[in-house]
Amino acid sequence: MPFCPCRPRRERNFLYLGGQEYDEYSDIFEDKEHELFGPRGFEEIVDQVANLEKALGIYDLSQFTP
């Protein structure tokens, strides 16, 4: 099948890590998160999204699900 320039090809890449490597990369990503978003990085973003959802009236998922 020829490549269509209007649609980029997508590849699935999998990376398998051992326990020690997983821990090392986890620490690297955690440090990067704190560098980019501050000491409460992920938690702060989650709080901001929750407050936005509350302000928009879409916080309670039970109103959208049976």
Q: For the segment 48-58, what is each residue's pLDDT rounded down to a tens digit?
A: 999 999 999 99
Count H helices and E strands in the chain, helices first. 2, 0
What are the pLDDT digits (tens) for 13-54?
Answer: 888 889 999 999 999 999 999 998 888 888 998 999 999 999
Give the whole-angstrom CA distance, residue 28 versus residue 59: 32
What is this structure's pTM? Answer: 0.52
Longest CA–CA span in the chain (Å) reads: 48
Give the whole-angstrom CA distance, residue 47 versus residue 49: 5
In order of 2, 9, 50, the CA distances from 6 in angstroms are 12, 10, 37
